[in-house]
A and B are shown apart, each in its own frame.
Chain A
Amino acid sequence: MKGTLPATAVACAMAWGGSAFAAQSLEEMKDLPPAAKLMGEQHTIAKLPAPHPKRVFVLEPLFPAIVASKIWVIEGDKQELGAVMSAGYCANMALAPDQSEIYVFDTYWDKGFRGRRSDFITTYDSQDLTIKSDTDLPKGRFLVVPKKQNADASPDGKWLFSYNLAPATTVSVIDAKTKKYAGEVEIAGCGLIFPGRGNRFSSVCSDGTLATAQWDDKFKSTVTRQGPFFDSENDPVFEHAGFDRRQGKVHFITYDGNVIPVDIAQDKPAIGTKWSLLGAEDAKEEWRPGGWQLAAVHRATQRLFVLMHKGPKWTHKQAGEEVWVFDLNSRKRVQRIELKEHATTIAVSQDADPYLFTQTEKPSLITYNVQDGKEVGEMSFGITPFLMFVGDE
C-alpha cells in the first residue's frame, strides 16, 4: 500500500483548528521519517462557537450519583450537544454577564464521597471550557437540590455570590475580577440572592419581608428590611421567580398564582402591586403555577413565562402542562403554549425570535418556537436535569 495520505484527511484535520499535534501539509509530510507517516489522523480539540442567545446550559445534579453533577452545554439553535462539563456535589453555576466565563460553585470530598470537604468556585473559559482558576469558599456553601438564586454573578460583572446555610444563613461575596474572597454578609432568617445594582443584593425572608444588603469598599455591610410583601404562611413565593436580571426586576410568583413585582434596581427596592395569573375560569379549573425553575422573562418584549398545571394546593412541584405567557405591562395573558410533555423547568432565549426551552419529566429537552408555539425539537440526555441558564438573561 502506498504511504500517501488522502488530501481530504489532511484538509479535514487542518479545518478543525486548535490542535494537539501540528497540522501538516502533504509537502511537509514527504520529508518525514517513515514512522511519522503512520500518525494518520491528527487529533484536535473542539471549541464552542462564540456565545449566542440559543445556547442553553443544563445543570444536572445527577441524583443516582450526586457527587458527579453535570452541566450539559446545548446548542439550541442546532439542537445539538456542544459539550458536557463535569462537576461535584450539588453543584450550582452562574454565567458571567459578558458571557466570557462560566462559574461553577462546587463541593467535593478528598476521598470522593468521604474525607475532608472542600467548597470552591471554579472559573471556566466559556469557549474552550478550560479551567482558569479555583477560588476557595472558606465558609462552605449551601447543600441542597440546586436553585438558581443560591449562587449568582452581579449584572455589572463585579461580584460573585454564594449562599450558606450551616444552619446560620449568610452570603459569601467574592470579587469576580480578582477572585478574591471578600467575606460574608449575614442575612438572618432569609435566603436567595437577587443581585441588584452596585454592591447590593436582595433576599427573601421567612416572615415575608425583603432584605437588601449593601457593603462599602471596606466590606462593612448593612441589611435593611421591607415589607412583608407576601403572605409567608399561606401563600409563599416560589424560590424561582421571573427574574429580569439586567433591569433588576424580580417578578415573584406565589403558590396560589399571584405575581408580586419588586424593582431591586432602585437604591431602596420598590415593591409593586400584586396581580394574579389566574382569571375566574382558571381558578375554577384549579390552575396553578408549579415545577422547579418555573418562570422566565423575555426582557425585550417584557413577557413573563410561567409553567402551569391543574391541581390543588400543595402541588407546587408538580410538572407543568402548559406555559402561560403574560405581557408584564398590561398584566394580561397573551399566549398559552401547550406542552407535548409535562415539564418542570423552563428558560427563554433573549433574542428577537426566542426559543422556549423546557425540561420534561422523561427527561428530555423540548424546544418550542415562542412565536407560533410549535416544537423545534426534542433532545434526550441526562437523568435528573434541574436548572437551565441562557446568556444575557
Chain B
Amino acid sequence: MKGFMASLALAISFSAAAAGVETVAPDDVPDVLVRTQRTVLPKVRGAAEDYSRNCQGCHGHLGHSVAEVPRLKDRVGLFTHTPEGRAYLIQVPNVTQAMLSHERLAAMMNWMLEEYSREQLAPAFQPYTASEVARLRADRLQSVIARRREVVEGLLRAGVIADADVLAFSLEPGRY
C-alpha cells in the first residue's frame, strides 16, 4: 500500500508539474498521513478554488465523473458555439445559484472552459464578463431539461455537432 501510494504521489507531482500547477511538498504539510504517504498536494487558488468548492464534487477534478453528471471534459466548450448554448452554461442551476459573485463566476467559468475543453471552444470565443453573467443570472430557467434539449438541437442545426449523442448524459438514476 505504501509503495502504491508513493508512486501515486509521484505520478501526481509529475502531472501537476507538467500542467504548471504549484505544489506543496509532503514535508511542508503538517499531517501524519501526508508525510508518511509522501502525498504531493496542489495549491488550489482563485478560479481553480472556486471550481473545486462549487463544481468539482460532482463534475470531478478531471472534468468528468459519473454517468448521471454531464461531462465537461472535451465537451462543454461545444456549448459556446451558439448564443443559446453560451447562455445555457451560466443558467444551469448549480452555476447560476453558486455562492459566487458575478465577477468570480465569470472568472471560474472561463477557467473551467480553458482547463477542460479548450479544443471545443467557439473559434471567436469571448470570455464571459461579469455584466453578461449578471444579466443571465437574473433570468431563471423553468425547465433545465427542456432547455438543454433545445440547445442541443440548436447545436445540431448549426452543424457544431453531428449527433445529439455527443452531448448525452444519463437522466435515469443509477440502479446500483
A and B part of one assembly = yes
- Residues of A that sit less than 8 Å from B by CB: 116-117, 139-140, 164, 166-169, 186, 188-190, 205-207, 209, 222-223, 225, 232-233
Q: For window 59-89 of chain B, which residues contact chain A by CB distance below 8 Å?
A: 68-69
| Given A140-B173, A233-B99, also A166-B68 (CB < 8 A) | yes
A190 to B94, CA, bound (A): 10
A164-B173, A223-B142 given; name 15 further pairs at CB < 8 Å.
A117-B175, A139-B172, A140-B173, A167-B58, A167-B69, A186-B144, A186-B145, A189-B93, A205-B97, A206-B93, A206-B97, A207-B97, A222-B142, A223-B143, A225-B140
B96 CB within 8 Å of chain A? yes
Closest to B69 in A: A167
Contacts of B171 in A (CB 8 A): 168
Closest to A141 in B: B173
A222 to B69, CA, bound (A): 24
- Residues of B that sit less than 8 Å from A by CB: 58, 68-69, 93-94, 96-97, 99, 140-145, 171-176
A225 to B140, CA, bound (A): 8
Contacts of B97 in A (CB 8 A): 189, 205-207
A117 to B69, CA, bound (A): 19
A156 to B144, CA, bound (A): 30
**Are the CB atoms of B144 and A188 closer together than 8 Å?**
yes
A225 to B141, CA, bound (A): 10
Q: How many A-B residue pairs have CB under 8 A?
A: 45
Contacts of A186 in B (CB 8 A): 142-145
CB distance from A341 to the nearest CB of B (A): 36
**Are the CB atoms of A117 and B145 closer together than 8 Å?**
no
Contact partner of B96 among A117, A189, A223, CB < 8 A? Answer: A189
A250 to B140, CA, bound (A): 24
Contacts of B96 in A (CB 8 A): 189, 207
CB distance from A361 to the nearest CB of B (A): 30
Secondary structure at chain A's binding surface: helix, strand, loop or mixed? loop
Closest to B99 in A: A233
Q: List 12 A-B contacts (CB under 8 A).
A: A140-B174, A166-B68, A166-B173, A167-B58, A168-B145, A168-B171, A189-B93, A189-B97, A207-B96, A209-B140, A223-B142, A225-B140
Sorted nearest first, the 6 A-B pairs with minimum C-beta distance are A189-B93, A140-B173, A166-B173, A188-B93, A207-B97, A188-B144
CB distance from A75 to the nearest CB of B (A): 38
A233 to B174, CA, bound (A): 31
Contacts of B172 in A (CB 8 A): 139
Closest to A119 in B: B173
Contacts of A223 in B (CB 8 A): 142-143
Contacts of B144 in A (CB 8 A): 168, 186, 188
**Are the CB atoms of A188 and B143 closer together than 8 Å?**
yes
Contacts of A190 in B (CB 8 A): 93
Contacts of A189 in B (CB 8 A): 93-94, 96-97
Closest to A187 in B: B93
Contacts of B69 in A (CB 8 A): 167
CB distance from A39 to the nearest CB of B (A): 48
A117 to B174, CA, bound (A): 8
CB distance from B45 to the nearest CB of A (A): 21
Contact partner of B173 among A139, A209, A225, CB < 8 A? Answer: A139
Contacts of A233 in B (CB 8 A): 99
**Are the CB atoms of A116 and B175 closer together than 8 Å?**
yes
CB distance from B86 to the nearest CB of A (A): 19
Contacts of B94 in A (CB 8 A): 189
CB distance from B55 to the nearest CB of A (A): 12
A139 to B174, CA, bound (A): 9
Closest to A116 in B: B175
A116 to B69, CA, bound (A): 21
Contacts of B141 in A (CB 8 A): 188
**Are the CB atoms of B176 and A117 closer together than 8 Å?**
yes
Contacts of A167 in B (CB 8 A): 58, 68-69
CB distance from A59 to the nearest CB of B (A): 22
Interface centre among B58, B69, B143 (most CB of A within 10 A): B143
Contacts of A117 in B (CB 8 A): 174-176
Closest to B140 in A: A225
CB distance from B142 to the nearest CB of A (A): 5
Contacts of A232 in B (CB 8 A): 99
CB distance from B100 to the nearest CB of A (A): 10
Contacts of B175 in A (CB 8 A): 116-117
Contacts of B145 in A (CB 8 A): 168, 186
Closest to A222 in B: B142
Interface centre among A116, A205, A207, A209 (most CB of B within 10 A): A207
A188 to B94, CA, bound (A): 8
CB distance from A97 to the nearest CB of B (A): 29
